[in-house]
Amino acid sequence: MTISKLVLAGISRRFGSTIVLDRVDLTVAAGEVIALMGANGAGKSTLVKILAGVHPFDSGHIALDGVTIRPATPQHAKALGIVTVHQAIADTGVPSLSVAENLLLDRFCAPGQAFIGTRRTQLRAAREIAARIGLELDLSERLDRLTIADRQLIAIARVLAGRPKVVIFDEPTASLSDTEAQRLFEVIERLRDNGTAILYISHRLADLERIADRAVVLRDGRVGATFSRPIDFQAAIETMIGRDLKTAHSRATLRAVKPALSLSRVRLRSDREPFDLQVGIGEVVAITGAVGVGKTTLAEAIVGVRPLAGGTMSFEGNAWKPARPADAIRAGVFFAGEDRWRTSLFPASVPFASIAGTLSFPFLSRWFPLGRVDTRRENEVALEAIRRFGIKCSGPGDRLETLSGGNQQKVVIARWHAHPARLLLLDEPFQGVDIGARDDIIRAIREEASTRATIVFVSDHEEALEVADRIVVMDRHTVVADHPRHEMDIAQLVAATAARTDTSTPPAAAASAAVTTAVTSPPGSPSLSNYTAASP
């Protein structure tokens, strides 16, 4: 049994003139799960990166099992027994390698190790790792052909293979279905029973209520409060965002004033039922359902990333069949994908990797038809977005990798508000975003909703109820329910989703669906990787 205890005393970190962490004290006991809460920009990510060996700390002290440590690199942190399950999919493996090879990456790359073995021994070792969290996948499948949820589970299995002393979970259920999340919670409980110290970061209160022994709230780089069981999460959230939850913005229900997008007898897959769907200008429609039911497939079909399997679409009264995302952008149809680094943001090596460049890139030919970028206009647009969305940064020139995950997401949403849209599609816009930031994003979405049609694709039922005027439920790549928001509460929405999921497919077909829906990007399928660069 591994008995661990992690102690942080007076940890401080400064970036330039900005104090990100200010004398943070935190103790995680052996077999304890600490929920680390805080608004985007409160210092959670920096604290995690210090423990993971990504950033050094300026002052303070870290001890593990009574021994002073100072993680210098992620490899060093892992050798000390501290591992992190990251939120970002880009951090979870090598896309071109198989599931088995990704599960064994650490053995292949460990210093002084010569683990190669035969194909049979590799598969046996990979199966043992996968079995620890009940992961059932084709081990020969390439990582980049799997769903985000499956890739996240592979990352978790790989991290836990080394039997770490401390595990940091950073939004681990953001891309998981309820069933997959339950499997993760069972793994965490086993880790807890074995004496592993666990630091858990999530914006989902249901997760925290399910597993946390204590909650520690960071605010402006300091520990604002600590809550023990029974945890008062309302008080924790109010400490986190600095205001009473009752002061959250109210909203009037918007109603469609005229039709915008119309889908007739649409099939997302040839073996699924066709459906109709209409979305009007002046309403916000939430399309919800479990992970893998076809929400992203529908969004990608609308913007021209992939073709329909059947049926027709029309937009503002005209036939709609964009050949590529650039056609959609040109027509005022904008899409923010689920994986922000793959679909919306640039790496640091690209000139447009700043906040200002990210916002302007899709609209370069419209804003600067002579081909010369007006940096003053770029910065004006960025400053307005920073103000409106509450983006925590130093200014328009900040690089995206320097921002917290929630502030990166705000930039993604702000990008598609920088130019008037006729139809706005947002896929999981609240993923990894805290309650305060979610409130900011919802307010911004609804402020301009009367001038366009808006579709928000979300797996979280509470998010659907918060943002929408109308809620559409999908299951197995078809629409199964469509209700005005005022007719639905959380219990009814959960029941509507669960009832369809449990009964709509015969057992034999369900078994087949369980296999086929595990892969959303089959060989030769179109990719969203070029959507960022799809400037008309």
Query: Do residues 302 and 261 make contact, with C-beta atoms less than 8 angstroms apart?
Result: yes
CA angle at residue 222 from 220 to 228, to 5 degrees?
A: 120
Q: Which residue has the higher pLDDT, 372 or 323?
A: 323
Is the distance from CB of 164 to CB of 123 less than 8 angstroms?
no
Instruction: Please tell me the least confidently modeled range out of 317-321, 402-406, 509-513.
Output: 509-513
Q: Check whether the bond before 71 is cis (ω within 30° of 0).
A: no
Compute the average pLDDT of residues 120-143. Answer: 84
What local confidence, expressed as pLDDT, does residue 251 receive?
Answer: 55
List of E strands, 160-309:
166-170, 197-201, 214-219, 222-228, 258-267, 275-281, 284-288
Q: Is pLDDT larger for residue 271 or for residue 1?
A: 271
Do 467 and 442 contact (CB within 8 A), yes or no?
yes
Is the pLDDT at 65 greater than 70, yes or no? yes
The pLDDT of residue 4 is above 80: no
pLDDT class for 500, splitting at 50, 70, 90? Answer: very low
List the one residue out of 369, 344, 348, 370 whose CA is nearest residue 359: 344
Regarding predicted confidence, which is higher, 508 or 42?
42
pLDDT of residue 244: 61
How many alpha carbons lie under 13 Å from residue 308 in its C-beta half-sphere? 21
Per the listing, tokens 């809460």 go with: 37
Per-residue pLDDT tens for 239-260?
Answer: 877 766 554 444 556 666 688 9
Contact by Cβ (8 Å): 393, 386: yes
**Which CATH superfamily is 258-340+422-516 part of?**
P-loop containing nucleotide triphosphate hydrolases (3.40.50.300)
What pLDDT, on the 0 to 100 scale, is given for residue 123? 86
Is 233 within 8 Å of 214 (Cβ atoms)? no
What pLDDT band is residue 487 in, cutting at 50, 70 and 90?
A: confident
Average pLDDT over residues 458-484: 89
CATH 3.40.50.300 residue ranges of the chain are 6-245, 258-340+422-516
Question: What is d(CA 393, CA 379) in angstroms, rounded to the nearest whole number?
Answer: 13
Q: Is the pLDDT of residue 530 over 60?
A: no
Q: Element (H or E) spanning 305, and its range? A: none
When pLDDT is cut at 50, 70 and 90, the band that residue 162 belongs to is confident
Per-chain mean pLDDT for the chain: 82
Could you tell me the fold of the domain covering 6-245? Rossmann fold (3.40.50)
Q: How large is the average pLDDT for residues 274-284?
A: 95
Q: How far apart are CA 140 and CA 119, in angstroms?
A: 11
Highest mean pLDDT among 162-171, 204-213, 265-274: 265-274
pLDDT, residue 28, reads: 95
pLDDT, residue 91, reads: 54
**CA dist 490 → 179, 247, 252, 276 (Å):** 18, 21, 19, 25
Instruction: Give the pLDDT mean for 417-423.
Output: 92
Q: How confident is the model at residue 512 (pLDDT cuts 50, 70, 90)?
A: very low
Determine which of 128-137, 269-278, 338-347 has the lowest per-residue pLDDT on average.
338-347
Q: Is the pLDDT of residue 382 over 60?
A: yes
Query: What is the spatial distance between Cα 197 and Cα 29, in angstroms, rounded to a whole number?
Result: 6
What would the mean pLDDT of 396-420 be, rounded to a whole number? 88
pLDDT for the residue 254: 64
For the ranges 400-404, 458-462, 491-495, the lowest mean pLDDT is seen at 491-495
Contact assessment for residue 227 and residue 205, using Cβ atoms and an 8 Å cutoff: no
Distance of CA 139 to the CA centre of its chain: 25
Least confident of 2-16, 143-157, 455-469, 501-515: 501-515
DSSP assignments along 415-473, one per residue = HTTSS--SEEEEESTTTT--HHHHHHHHHHHHHTGGGSEEEEEES-HHHHHHH-SEEEE
> Coil, strand, or helix at residue 530?
coil
What pLDDT sits at residue 110? 60
For residue 130, give the 3-state DSSP assignment. Answer: helix
pLDDT of residue 62: 96
Cα distance between residue 35 and residue 14, in whole Å:
24
Full 3-state SS string of 196-238: CEEEEECCCHHHHHHHCCEEEEEECCEEEEEEECCCCHHHHHH
Of 279-288, 384-393, 454-463, highest mean pLDDT: 279-288
Count of other CB atoms within 10 angstroms of residue 16: 7
pLDDT of residue 3: 64
Hunting for tokens 């084709």 — which residue is that? 138
Flag the least confident range among 38-52, 89-103, 182-196, 375-389: 89-103
CA dihedral 201, 203, 209, 214 (to 10 degrees): 40
| Higher per-residue confidence, 341 vs 209 | 209
- 374: pLDDT strictly greater than 90: no
Which pLDDT value is given to residue 520? 28
How far from 528 is each of 187, 299, 300, CA to CA, in Å?
A: 32, 11, 8
| pLDDT for 273 beyond 90 | yes
Give pairs for 87-90: CB < 8 Å, separation 24+. Answer: 87/170, 87/171, 87/172, 87/174, 87/405, 87/432, 88/341, 88/405, 89/148, 89/151, 89/152, 89/175, 89/339, 89/341, 89/342, 90/341, 90/342
Distance CA(490)–CA(494), nearest Å, equals: 6
Q: Tokens in use for 452?
A: 């366009």
Give me the percent of the chain exceeding a pLDDT of 70: 84
Higher pLDDT, 116 or 169: 169
Higher pLDDT, 312 or 40: 312
Question: Is residue 276 predicted with pLDDT exceeding 90?
Answer: yes
Model confidence pLDDT, tens digit, residues 328-352: 999 999 999 887 777 777 767 777 7
d(CA 329, CA 334): 6
Could you give the CA distance from residue 27 to residue 6 in angstroms, rounded to a whole number? Answer: 6
Nearest to 453 by CA among 204, 290, 261, 322: 261
Question: Residue 444's pLDDT is what?
Answer: 87
The CA-atom distances, in angstroms, between 219 and each of 22, 93, 241 are 10, 32, 8
Token output for 134: 């009940």
